[in-house]
Structure 1
């Protein structure tokens, strides 16, 4: 597998989805502002996505992909297909049951997560209504996770990576047809659109799996040995994923206490923070898990370590400049994207400050995505569980302690700090087990990338001051200002990185020739 090509495919299509997501948020910000209605939609959108990441993308994929890859390598496509059908037979009714239970008891769920909404007339009732529309999205998107696991194991990344873009296209269409000056009607249409988006994504991935030659069918649920093996693997991973997702619930819980617009501002800042995480970290995690799993299955520890090191290098090549750029240019970016219509200057300033704090943990977020496949490929899901749970337990009192002192910013500070503790813990354990150690060439490469990123940050700081008025000006001025920031930052960073050896020139040359990178040690 060509790691650069696979990551580029996944990351590029994820970028398409994220850009469409920003278009969606820009329209919503202008129509709804940092309002009660926007808060309720963001909560209704947050809850099914929390459980999606809890049951599907994180825990399920971490267990399913290594098992599917092992069966594919040893038993062939028929064995892998049979395994998939056994899992689907149990997975689908379990998802349906969870979805129905939550929809029925949604008033209690909203009361627990955002009970402070009761203080605003109609806000609690609207949150319950919207979440009942959005929560069935969980059923369809979790099935998409299973289908995506099959496609990724077969190194067919396109359909699974493009599927999220369909959701954003449906939401943009909903915003276009929504009535103006009626916030309640707008968020209701958006909630229904979330469910439609889940159905469309499922249809795309189902057709892609069939084109790949895998025939899935509904069967009677049975706890076969394969199902039991997967359950044993994903239960600890679910707890590990749950640690992070519970922290996301605290976003909703604490923001409900912070007044109108708090959840909206947190959500918009986190969307920008999640952009490089999704494009780089998630893409690399998806790309390297099958490769590491196959290397471990054939007892090739050297190859597994090499894949991990290359992923580490590639992730930092893109994440370090993204981090510094989002810190230095937080307000110009937020102002250009969201400050218009009903989204006030005060809301934009607060959102920018949240973003600047959140991205301090961005390199750690991405590296956790890079390191955890080393545990999952070896069927060790317990270690990430204990680390994640320990950090979660510590973060709860930290939030209660800081929220009265620094308000909404406490959530960003605690989240970023927890990400660094998670990364350091995972790296230390892999080092102690001799399963991954940073070679000298990797340390040198990352240090040079940091130097290039600091040069870029200096140029962006100057531009942000020189073009300050543009980022709150007309749409054309904002677009031109952002284009100048992005263009200048990219030229300075990659120019300096190339000159001082922060970029693997051999890998770039191989990518231009469209052939796999050789296995020789990087220069």
Structure 2
């Protein structure tokens, strides 16, 4: 576990900076444009290129393209240089064509993702989408450059380039706050305001891509356009990536359902005269906060343990796979368990402190926090599910994850529609977060069962379950302390950004300290290892 811990800590440091600047970006944008109609329109437009990119290249990048580049580097007479150039040429031509087509089809794409947007909201979303969609080409070129860097063991640029993207968009949002007079009022926003927001968002991706292209050049990659695409091994790539593409496609279908129901919630509220309720912007911001502990802790552990499990598979050592997986689950859960419980308690305090400024009212920030509280329930099952997928990937199995994802989307879609039809508008987006939780809980159970069969002899479920139980026993008192502080502060001072800061500092701080003390007394080894690693690095 110590090697995984050290590798994960190194990656987590860079990931943390990227996630935290992304966190700041989200907060500044919410303050600038709010979470009502303009915020919803922006988030819809911002989502479209990511969906298209995932469908076209993002889903197969790590599972197919990186291994194929490595194969070319090892077996081609020129060390894979021509293959890399063909791949970059192909990606550039295809993604430029997709970007142009996306701009032309922006009205259709916005209609696909939304339900019951107001005419003004629809027009603004289409305008923003046309400004933002060109980033698909730059995003893809940057991603290929990052893959080339990874195959050369150059990880710094891919780790830090997103930070520059975040800083650019933060600057754009601040400029909008200073120069724009519309704030979050979608009826007052001008064409110049929309150009600033849209072009500025795309500029962030352009800067990120330029950094990656320069880094790839310094690492020895020389881009020479090559149109002899027969050597691009498209057939091999297609065969290897078909199930990964199916996995991405299924998940995107689920996301499209979610965005439609979330925008439908605001439409229902308008029809019933219920005022502003949580919509797609609130869902998106809550989901980004939910992803923060997962992205810092779980992604780092996953990245470190997947190559090791893959080697164990090739060596025919199933017992080593079980040990590696169980160790990763315990390490991730030692941080995710208390984080999930504290999110369930302190979600509104977090969001009021971050978002309760400018064009986002305290009440709207509380709405985001309520959604975040429900997402807190999903943190543990979602993280374990992602770890389980790596068991299949270590065997080269992309088919099973795609089939499990189809089941997840079926559960999520069914629960989402039922809750959409039965809940009042102000609870619909919270219901969508609950559907997300239900889907990944069911998916985790199915994935665990199938992964245990694949490995043979199980995945150490009894030991993992016992470790999780001890972590919850240590974490529940921490959550109770945070709840008491939350209740007391709210009774005395209400909910404001200042009182929220007190709740987080006192409640979160005391709760976190209590968890560390309890886990030490209960001899939870993973926490002791993390503390020892941090203390050792600080001591240097």
TM-score relative to the length of structure 1: 0.88
Instruction: Pick which of 332-341 and 57-66 moved more.
Output: 57-66
> SS in structure 2 opposite 1:340?
coil
The alpha-carbon deviation at position 429 of structure 1 amounts to 0.7
The alpha-carbon deviation at position 493 of structure 1 amounts to 1.7
Distance in 2 between the 1:70 and 1:484 partners? Answer: 53
> SS in structure 2 opposite 1:182?
coil
Q: Closer, same or farther in 2 for the Cα pair 1:70/1:286, shift >3 Å?
A: farther
8 Å contact 1:470–1:481 — kept in the other structure?
no
Matching of residue 461 in structure 1 with residue 483 in structure 2:
yes
Q: Closer, same or farther in 2 for the Cα pair 1:506/1:180, shift >3 Å?
A: closer
Instruction: Pick which of 228-237 and 440-449 moved more.
Output: 440-449
8 Å contact 1:70–1:294 — kept in the other structure?
no
Q: Closer, same or farther in 2 for the Cα pair 1:7/1:155, shift >3 Å?
A: farther
Match of 2:430 among 409, 428, 439: 409
Distance in 2 between the 1:408 and 1:57 partners? Answer: 27
Matching of residue 142 in structure 1 with residue 159 in structure 2:
no
Matching of residue 42 in structure 1 with residue 49 in structure 2:
no
8 Å contact 1:159–1:208 — kept in the other structure?
yes
> SS in structure 1 opposite 2:209?
helix
Matching of residue 202 in structure 1 with residue 202 in structure 2:
no
Q: Closer, same or farther in 2 for the Cα pair 1:176/1:271, shift >3 Å?
A: same
Matching of residue 277 in structure 1 with residue 294 in structure 2:
yes
8 Å contact 1:31–1:341 — kept in the other structure?
yes
Other-structure match for 1:236: 243
Distance in 1 between the 2:533 and 2:309 partners? Answer: 22
Q: Closer, same or farther in 2 for the Cα pair 1:163/1:246, shift >3 Å?
A: farther
Matching of residue 372 in structure 1 with residue 394 in structure 2:
no
Alignment of 1:223-302 (within 5 A): 223-224=230-231, 226-259=233-266, 262-302=279-319
Cα shift readout 1:37-84 (whole Å, capped 9, x = no counterpart): 111111111111223334444332122344455667x65996465654
Cα shift readout 1:375-420 (whole Å, capped 9, x = no counterpart): 2232211111111112223433332222021233321121111111
Alignment of 1:35-434 (within 5 A): 35-68=36-69, 79=79, 83-117=83-117, 120-178=118-176, 179-183=179-183, 184-185=189-190, 186-215=193-222, 217-220=224-227, 222-224=229-231, 226-259=233-266, 262-406=279-423, 407-434=428-455
8 Å contact 2:148–2:216 — kept in the other structure?
yes
Other-structure match for 2:273: none
4+ runs deviating over 6 angstroms: none
Distance in 2 between the 1:340 and 1:382 partners? Answer: 46
Distance in 2 between the 1:271 and 1:497 partners? Answer: 28
Distance in 2 between the 1:277 and 1:161 partners? Answer: 16
Instruction: Pick which of 262-271 and 371-380 moved more.
Output: 371-380
Cα shift readout 1:485-507 (whole Å, capped 9, x = no counterpart): 34223222222222212233457
Distance in 2 between the 1:111 and 1:479 partners? Answer: 39
Cα shift readout 1:361-382 (whole Å, capped 9, x = no counterpart): 1112212222222222322111
8 Å contact 1:29–1:343 — kept in the other structure?
yes
5+ unaligned residues in a row in structure 1: which ranges?
515-523
Q: Closer, same or farther in 2 for the Cα pair 1:511/1:269, shift >3 Å?
A: closer
8 Å contact 1:71–1:79 — kept in the other structure?
yes
Cα shift readout 1:116-172 (whole Å, capped 9, x = no counterpart): 22xx24221111110111112222223333333344455543322222222221111
Alignment of 1:413-492 (within 5 A): 413-434=434-455, 437-438=459-460, 441-468=463-490, 472-473=495-496, 475=498, 478-492=500-514
5+ unaligned residues in a row in structure 2: which ranges?
184-188, 267-275
Instruction: Pick which of 220-229 and 103-112 moved more.
Output: 220-229
8 Å contact 2:352–2:497 — kept in the other structure?
no
Matching of residue 7 in structure 1 with residue 8 in structure 2:
yes
The alpha-carbon deviation at position 262 of structure 1 amounts to 1.2
Q: Closer, same or farther in 2 for the Cα pair 1:306/1:510, shift >3 Å?
A: farther
Distance in 1 between the 2:228 and 2:39 partners? Answer: 40
8 Å contact 2:113–2:256 — kept in the other structure?
yes
Q: Closer, same or farther in 2 for the Cα pair 1:97/1:437, shift >3 Å?
A: same
Aligned residues: 510
> SS in structure 2 opposite 1:433?
helix
Match of 2:518 among 489, 493, 496: 496
Q: Closer, same or farther in 2 for the Cα pair 1:174/1:443, shift >3 Å?
A: same
The alpha-carbon deviation at position 234 of structure 1 amounts to 1.7
Instruction: Pick which of 440-449 and 410-419 moved more.
Output: 440-449
Q: Closer, same or farther in 2 for the Cα pair 1:98/1:344, shift >3 Å?
A: same
> SS in structure 1 opposite 2:525?
coil
